[in-house]
Chains A and B, each alone.
Chain A
Amino acid sequence: MTVQNRQIEVLRYDPERDETPRFETFTVPCKEEWVVLDALTYIKDELDPSLTFRWSCHMAVCGSCGMQVDNKPTLSCKAFVRDYGEKIRVEPLANFPIERDLVISQDDFMEKLQRGRPWIIPEQKREVEDGPYVQTPMQLDDIKEHTMCINCLLCYAACPVYALERDFVGPAALTLMYRYNADSRDAGWDERREVFAGHGGVWECSFVGACSDVCPKHVEPATAIQKGKMDSAVDYFTRFLMPGGGK
């Protein structure tokens, strides 16, 4: 088993002591099969127990371990150290306030996610005895990729619109809203319209496309948002131009 020393340069921030974040470099004997998260765990176990970072599954499922690795939003449990250089720079996800070290504050996202009502709002509520809401495989396939989000927030760290316009609901939350709007069992468009297509909604997006690039689950947020713009345009014209508001 080959072990190679690597310099892990970590952005540190202690809210009780530091005015501003600062870099600290650790020399870590990395095994060949290690991911960046393993190197951080080594630092915490062997070098500095105060290093703070989030993780849970270690298998790219839970979405907790997002960080900037060499300046790119990445799941640190999916980033093999052997794919990087001698020196690896690890920072908290961009665009979010730093809570401590590599931990960012998710408050803004959580609030926006909730406002989006990301659940099925059926036309007619079914009781348990009515059985489940059914959907054909083809209807599912229409939205399949957009249902795979693990809320890791890499897309927010990649999005220059979110960086500049803090009211922007953002890639993951809008994608989830689109996913429900486009779900064959859902009738919640009107309830979501304000958040989805109003100020801060899909029209804020200028289609840079970096969100889809960094997404570890190929959720294609950029595509979901452009499709959402189409739906919003159709909705606008049917409401204002058709007699009876298109109803």
Chain B
Amino acid sequence: MARRPYPQEVDRFKWWIADPHFNRPYYLDYIARESTCIFIALYTILFVWGLGALASGPEAFAGFMGAMQSGWGLALQLVILAFALYHTVTWFMLAPQGMKPLRMKNGKRVPATRVMQVLYGAFAAATVVTLLLVWVLLP
């Protein structure tokens, strides 16, 4: 009896739509998590644009600030913030799953929830420090 295995292929572009029924829509979650990095890149571009404006003088910088403070500028930044938060939170959720177990003094593994707490704590601290800096430095 000759073997004639039938190959099972997936569609190179549509594989993530045909998500198998896992406990979560893993493929969709994955695409959402990874694609939101585009918004981080977008903000980096805005940031570099701002730096460039700052370097080329007060007028250019005022123009940049004006654009950022316009309705469209604010809306864009809000959208970016929302997606950046999503990106951050989904990576935080993955973090305990992607690292070597940390050990407590008694040799027990540090639980995943503790790892998340530390991450969110650091996130909150960084946010507070940034806001404080802005508050102190802005005229």
A residues with a Cβ closer than 8 A to B are 13, 15-16, 20-21, 68, 70-73, 92, 94-99, 105, 138, 141-142, 158, 160, 163-164, 206-210, 212-214, 220, 222-223, 226-227, 230
Contacts and interface: CB of A to CB of B under 8 A. Distances in A.
Contacts of B47: none
A230 B97 CA distance: 13
B20 A94 contact: yes
25 contacts: A15-B2, A16-B1, A20-B6, A68-B20, A92-B8, A94-B10, A96-B8, A98-B5, A141-B109, A158-B22, A160-B16, A160-B27, A206-B34, A207-B94, A207-B98, A209-B26, A209-B30, A210-B27, A212-B97, A213-B24, A222-B98, A223-B98, A226-B97, A226-B99, A227-B99
Contacts, number: 91
A222 to B, nearest CB: 6
Contacts of B27: 160, 208, 210
Contact of B26 (A13, A163, A213): A213
Given A94-B20, A160-B10, A163-B10, A15 B4 contact: yes
In this complex, which of A98, A160, A226 has the most chain B Cβ atoms within 10 angstroms of its Cβ?
A: A160
B63 interface: no
Given A15-B3, A92-B8, A94-B8, 20 more contacts: A15-B1, A16-B2, A16-B4, A71-B20, A71-B21, A72-B21, A97-B7, A97-B8, A98-B6, A105-B3, A141-B109, A160-B10, A207-B94, A208-B26, A209-B30, A210-B20, A213-B23, A222-B97, A223-B97, A223-B98
Interface size grouping (class) on chain B = 20 to 34
Nearest to B4: A15
A206 B8 contact: no
B100 interface: yes
Interface of B: 1-10, 12, 15-16, 20-24, 26-27, 30, 34, 94, 97-101, 107, 109
A74 B112 CA distance: 26
B100 A227 contact: yes
